[in-house]
Amino acid sequence: MRAHGGPSRGGVNRPLRRRLRVLVCCLVPLLWAVQTTAVVQAESMTGRGDARARIVGGTVTAPEAAPWAVALTDSSGAHFCGGALVSAREVVTAAHCTLDPTTGAARSATDIRVVLDRRDLRTRKGEVIAVERVWRHSRYEHFTRGDDVAVLTLRSGASAPPLKLVDAGERKRYRPGTTGTVYGWGRTAESEPTSQVLRSVRVPVMSNFRCSRAYPGFDRESMFCAGYPEGGKDACGGDSGGPFVVDGRLVGLVSYGSGCARPDFPGVYTRLSSYAARIRDLAR
């Protein structure tokens, strides 16, 4: 006589085999549901994080008010992100803007153009400069979204004046309540196409506590949040990589968010004080 729970001819007794079948039947749909939920959550988290963010609740802005604001296009002229000129030959943008949003492959420098002094992207006004080299932070990953910063080196110097970069390690301009201005050519609402016209919006920096409540993966060393608890004003799809400016200094880049201008979900920005030293080294 076998002891209860001992091996059967198949190596597992019949009651145990029945329990295993029930367990497998339950786990398969559960795993499918978890995977589906993860995909839905990822899709609702706009990069700004997938290179499709925007300006909501803002106003049309003349290029002379932000001469260092740049639009990034591919070689065919299709706009996909924003950025900021920080020296004659360097543009700072989000790391995710240097990756293909569909495949995740790195964009070739030869397929990126920097457009300056062009309020309306439907015109040919302004300056278009090819990119010579792309530096993307080595620790950037799409799923964690930290270290979302890149530097584009231009083939020739831009004529526009650069924007001053925040100092390394600075904290003053990131205090909760500090108001900054975001610039971009992105969507003016979640369901709208990109605006094609440069816009800007003023939003206050939020506390790290509020950010971490809205986004469990929030990292206070590489990110900060800005917006209003009630929503209504924000960056959006197409604004990714665009500048967040405080007191004439570039302090952040549009990175990601859940939807656009939603209550309790502020925009998330790259905290450039953590990368200022490296950016300045590249710009020398």
Task: At 25, list the tokens.
Answer: 């039947």
What are φ and ψ of residue 25, in 5° steps? -60, -35
| DSSP secondary structure code for residue 194 in this structure | B
Give the C-alpha separation, 7 to 155, whole Å.
Answer: 73
Q: List, in order, residues 6 or more apart from 60 with CB less than 8 Å away.
A: 119, 197, 198, 199
What are φ and ψ of residue 69, in 5° steps? -75, 130
267-271 vs 223-226, strand pairing mode? antiparallel
CA end-to-end span of the chain: 83
So which residues are the catalytic ones?
96, 148, 240
CA 170 to chain centre: 21
- β-partners of residue 182 are 201, 244
